[in-house]
Amino acid sequence: MSLENKTIKELEELLEEIEDIIFNT
């Protein structure tokens, strides 16, 4: 897996966590 793909995947996971935090408040 390339570094770019790894970074994008990590960002998507972070985004999901952020959305959970936003929508759960």
Give the per-residue pLDDT at 2: 87
The larger pLDDT score, comparing residue 2 to residue 10, is at: 10
In this prediction, residue 3 carries a pLDDT of 86
Query: What average pLDDT is seen over the chain?
Result: 93
pTM over 0.85: no
Give the N- to C-terminal CA distance of the chain in Å, as an integer: 35
Q: How far apart are alpha carbons 25 and 5 in whole angstroms?
A: 31
For the chain, the domains span 1-25
Cα(15)–Cα(25) distance, rounded to whole angstroms? Answer: 16
Q: Across residues 8-22, what is the average pLDDT?
A: 97
| pLDDT tops 80 at residue 1 | no
Assess whether pLDDT exceeds 90 at residue 11.
Answer: yes
Say how far apart CA 20 and CA 24 lie, in whole Å: 6
